[in-house]
Amino acid sequence: MHEPKLIQLAASDPDLAALIEGEAQRQHDKLRMIASENYVSTAVLEATGTVLTNKYSEGYAGKRYYEGQQFVDQIELLAIERAKALFGADHANVQTYSGSPANLAIYLAFLDPGDTVLTMSLSSGGHLTHGSPVSVTGKWFRPVHYTVERETGRVDMSKVREMALAERPKLIICGGTAIPRTIDFPAFAEIAQEVGAILMADIAHIAGLVAGGAHPSPVGFADVVTTTTHKTLRGPRGAMIMAKAEHATAVDKAVFPGLQGGPHDHTTAGIAVALHEAAQPSFKDYAAQIVANAKALAAALTDHGFDLVSGGTDNHLVLVDLTNKGIGGKPAAKALDIAGIETNFNGVPFDTRRPLDPSGLRLGTPALTTRGLTEKHMPLVAAWMDRTVSAALNDDTSELAKIAGEVKELLSAFPMPGYTA
Ligand SMILES: *Cc1c(COP(=O)(O)O)cnc(C)c1O
């Protein structure tokens, strides 16, 4: 059953309540390995499901356009102070609706249409909002992209520097959605300084690892840091922008009134809760365990002959190139889903297949670590994946169902926040 209980909803709208209960059960029974997903605490669920959703608060604390901000101002200031303390940032803006608008706010704050931005290519692990041609960031600005190296799966910083010197970007972005290796923030900062560019670190995926000390921090190196709050940071759907003091006004103006209207105050409260949780000593253990689990998973997958981009991982994410297994990423992901293991198909660097039917599979350990799984379970997870790929190639649906049963059986011993049996 969902926790908090859906008592009123079940009475007033049983169809919808049943769908939400179904999703809670699904999240409980399956091994959730989508690298950008997690389970938030019941406290975060409670904060986001409050009367704060009724309030309008355009502006910033002490400078609002609507009355009645006696409590909302304090809530937003609490979230800001917690963000600044946790990451050691000069300035924090907690109003952006999600990661994509947070990134767009940075373009708005520092660029004019047509300006050059240097970012990691989508196929090497960058994000759509880093200048993909289908994104507004690619249509209205002039993106140039660095990539990983074909042989190593890693970025060669000397090539990033060469591109920066040749292209003279106004903005350089580091970070992405499918990067299994540590990002060298000091090296990016040095290049940005040399060419007079603003450096933005997009830590949407790794914010929880940074907060927990399991990945180096960009704070002090990047001019601005954007992040979602709902991935490894384990908060509600939302985002934050952190900035050096000199950029505080530009960032705040870009978010409001530049891009958005009223902030989602219930989300702000949920972010404040998550930041408080991330400041506890136990969150350091959580962050370290995410990485330990990913490394153990990478080793176990390698033992089963899986080919990993860059040969392994430094963080929460493993990118598998399935070419040598004779199966595409999409059929593999679909089979894994039937086998109770939730992943997403993903391109690999220099992929020869199409984006909707790519060669890779992206795996992450943030959610299963929240459930309490440790290194010792990762060989079993890798073995399930290997069996699933074989079963998919042999059209063996009963084997997939058998694996799903084993997954559910294991997970029944690991409580899920937001659910009670
Ligand atoms: C997830 C992600 C985003 C976008 O976040 P949304 O909340 O989905 O808009 C931006 N940048 C990176 C690197 C991401 O991983």
Judging by DSSP bridges, how do beta strands 142-146 and 116-120 pair with one another? parallel
Mean pLDDT by 10 residues, the chain (421 residues): 97 98 98 98 98 98 97 98 98 98 98 98 97 97 98 97 98 98 98 98 98 98 98 98 98 98 98 98 98 98 98 98 98 98 97 94 98 98 98 98 98 97 89
Structure tokens, 103? 């990134």
Mutate to test the pocket of ligand 1, among 228, 344, 362 (most ligand atoms within 8 A of CB): 228
Which tens digit of pLDDT belongs to each residue from 277-321? Answer: 999 999 999 999 999 999 999 999 999 999 999 999 999 999 999
Q: How far apart are CA 107 and CA 130, in angstroms?
A: 10
Q: Does the CB atom of residue 99 touch ligand 1 within 6 A?
A: yes
8 A C-beta contact, residue 307 and residue 360: no
Span from the CA of 99 to the centroid of ligand 1 (angstroms): 4
Position 355 scores a pLDDT of: 86
Q: How far apart are CA 185 and CA 220, in angstroms?
A: 9
Position 264 scores a pLDDT of: 98
Q: How far apart are CA 297 and CA 293, in angstroms?
A: 6
Is residue 120 within a helix (H) or strand (E), and if so which, with residue range?
strand 116-120
Judging by DSSP bridges, how do beta strands 31-32 and 341-342 pair with one another? parallel
Domains delineated in the chain: 9-20+31-40+281-411 (3.90.1150.10), 49-278 (3.40.640.10)
Question: Shortest CA distance to 301 belongs to which of 381, 368, 362, 360?
Answer: 381
Scanning 13-154, the segments in alpha helix (DSSP H) are 14-29, 42-48, 72-87, 99-110, 136-139
Question: Shortest CA distance to 317 belongs to which of 368, 393, 279?
Answer: 368
Respond yes or no: is residue 97 known to be catalytic: no
Q: Residue 148 burial by CB count (10 A; 0-12/13-18/19+): exposed, middle or buried? A: buried
Residue in 84, 161, 237, 402 annotated catalytic: 237
Respond yes or no: is residue 5 known to be catalytic: no
Respond yes or no: is residue 55 known to be catalytic: no
Structure tokens, 65? 């356009």
Decide: pTM greater than 0.95: yes
Residue in 3, 21, 58, 167 annotated catalytic: 58
Span from the CA of 234 to the centroid of ligand 1 (angstroms): 14
Q: Does the CB atom of residue 176 touch ligand 1 within 6 A?
A: yes
Span from the CA of 413 to the centroid of ligand 1 (angstroms): 32
Q: How far apart are CA 52 and CA 74, in angstroms?
A: 12
Respond yes or no: is residue 21 known to be catalytic: no
Residue in 56, 60, 97, 419 annotated catalytic: 56
8 A C-beta contact, residue 193 and residue 223: no
DSSP per-residue codes, 306-361:
-EEGGGS-SSSEEEEE-GGGT--HHHHHHHHHHTTEE-EEE--TT--S-TTS-SEE
Per the prediction, the chain carries an average pLDDT of 98
Find the helix packing angle between 72-87 and 265-278, rounded to 10°: 30
Q: Does the CB atom of residue 202 touch ligand 1 within 6 A?
A: yes
Q: Point out the ligand 1 atom lying closest to the alpha carbon of residue 176.
A: 13
Q: How far apart are CA 394 and CA 404, in angstroms?
A: 17
**Prior bond of 415 cis (ω within 30°):** no
Question: Shortest CA distance to 339 belongs to which of 281, 398, 285, 265?
Answer: 398
Binding site membership: which residues? 122, 126-128, 246
Respond yes or no: is residue 419 known to be catalytic: no
Position 147 scores a pLDDT of: 98
Q: Does the CB atom of residue 263 touch ligand 1 within 6 A?
A: no
Dihedral through CA 344, CA 345, CA 349, CA 354, nearest 10? -150
